[in-house]
Structure 1
Amino acid sequence: MQIKELAAATGVDTETIRFYEKEGLLPQPARLANGYRSYEPVHLERLSFVRHCRALDIPLAEIKSLLGALDAPQEACGDVNHLIDGQLGKLRARLKSMKALEKQLLQLRSACNGEHPHLRCGILNELVAAAHGEACVCHHEKPAQGDSSS
């Protein structure tokens, strides 16, 4: 099959397929007499595997390790377990961070109820106060100088 067909079958655009080839995630396809790439079922399977891993937010370097594990089926899978444990740790840290952000936004939202002119909007006033280096309802303390997270 040609690259357009592989792209259609996997939902991966042609530029990404070429990038994955360049990065060694996909084996180089054979070339037809006209110079076109000729993809086999192994390319479809491997690209589908990579796409699924990307959907799980696994970085390309780690996908490369997983592909290496696939290519060495007799090896023990402890490294694969460790890799996924690492992904879970990163996800849990992001979830914790997102929960903290949600709490801050809820606190900020509570600063303004009802319809007011912008001049009296509690949310805008809190954001301006924080921009001036003052404590705001969502942080409860004065932000550190140069802190870009506020």
Structure 2
Amino acid sequence: MTIKEVEGKTGLSRSNIRFYEKEKLIEPSRNESNGYRDYSEYDVENIKKIAYLRTLGISIEEIRSVISGKSELKKTIERQNEILKDQITELNKAKFMCEKMLEEENISYEKLQIEKYVPELYGYWEEYQTVLKLDSVSFLYLWGSRITWAAITTLCLIVGLIFYSELPSEIPVQWNSGGAAVSLVSKKYIFICPVACIIIRYLLKPFIYVKVYMNPRGEMITEYLTNYLCFIVLSTEIFSVLFTFGVVKNIVTLLFADSAVLIGLLTVGLVKMELRGTKKL
């Protein structure tokens, strides 16, 4: 059957079905006459099972392990049940504290006294390290923000506008290992950089997210990588201008420095999160 028929039988979107196929959770055969995918009833049942387990919060990797026979479904569900119990316990605690605070008639930020609700303050902070440790890497979220992307894109446009009139009719876009320009284009192409940033965000970003969305911080990682790629575009644009004026000669050094700085920030942040998380154990 066609993917449209599968959509009708499962009630799931085409993007869901394609994603499960891309993750090798289902492997439909091919119609020899036209090369199109030919889904079977077995595929339909698998798709429904996979989607149902996903609604329980079970990860793609765990589902793959169950399908391959490496894990038992019962044990996987038992583990997930324990995870959900812990989450419910934490949510109930937060709900109880909110209700307790709402018992006050005129509660306000100015009059809020934490010790009134949390007698053992240090123990309370330790209990909620999972939440608080994210504050230690706030710069990652700043780098991964839409504002940062907008700033990089704007800088790309500003650089183009400032230097356009000073540039020769043709500018380099490719260089050999020795640093010599091997490909020249019209200087109008300097404005391709802000356009590239827009393409990266609105066309490439969804593909990145598909790869990392199962990660608890998948959205942050997607934003981080998107802005990192835009930063590379900005750096390349600046290098092209500097190279044209004879200020710098080798783009590899510039790109290496960009990568080292950004990967270093990400590594330090993630390690810091991990270290703070282990203090609770």
Same fold, judged at TM 0.5 (above): yes
Q: Does 1:109 align with 2:102?
A: yes
Q: How does 1:47-58 map to 2 (within 5 A)?
A: 47-58=47-58
Aligned to 2:63: 63
Q: Which runs of 4+ in 1 moved over 6 A?
A: none
Whether the 8 Å CA contact 1:32–1:38 is kept in 2: the answer is: no
Aligned to 1:97: 90
SS at match of 1:84: helix
Q: 1:136 to 1:9 in 2, by over 3 A?
A: farther
Q: 1:135 aligns with which of 111, 114, 121?
A: 114
C-alpha displacement of 1:97: 0.6
Q: What is the CA deviation profile of residues 93-124 of structure 1, one whole-angstrom value per residue up to 9, with x for unaligned ones?
A: 01111110110110121123xxxxxxxx41xx
Q: 1:104 to 1:37 in 2, by over 3 A?
A: same
C-alpha displacement of 1:68: 1.6
Equivalent position amino acid for 1:17 in 2: I
Structure 2: gaps spanning 5 or more residues: 126-130, 135-281
Whether the 8 Å CA contact 2:28–2:38 is kept in 1: the answer is: no
C-alpha displacement of 1:81: 3.1
SS at match of 2:61: helix
C-alpha displacement of 1:14: 0.3
Equivalent position amino acid for 1:28 in 2: P
Q: How does 1:110-125 map to 2 (within 5 A)?
A: 110-112=103-105, 121-122=106-107, 125=108
Q: Pick 1 or 2: higher relative contact order, CA cutoff 8 A, min separation 6.
A: 2
Q: 1:53 to 1:147 in 2, by over 3 A?
A: closer
Aligned to 1:22: 22
Whether the 8 Å CA contact 2:28–2:40 is kept in 1: the answer is: no
SS at match of 2:65: helix
C-alpha displacement of 1:29: 3.2
- For residues 100 and 88 of structure 1, the distance between their equivalents in structure 2, rounded to whole angstroms, comes to 18
C-alpha displacement of 1:55: 2.4
Structure 1: gaps spanning 5 or more residues: 73-77, 113-120
Rg (Cα) greater in structure: 2
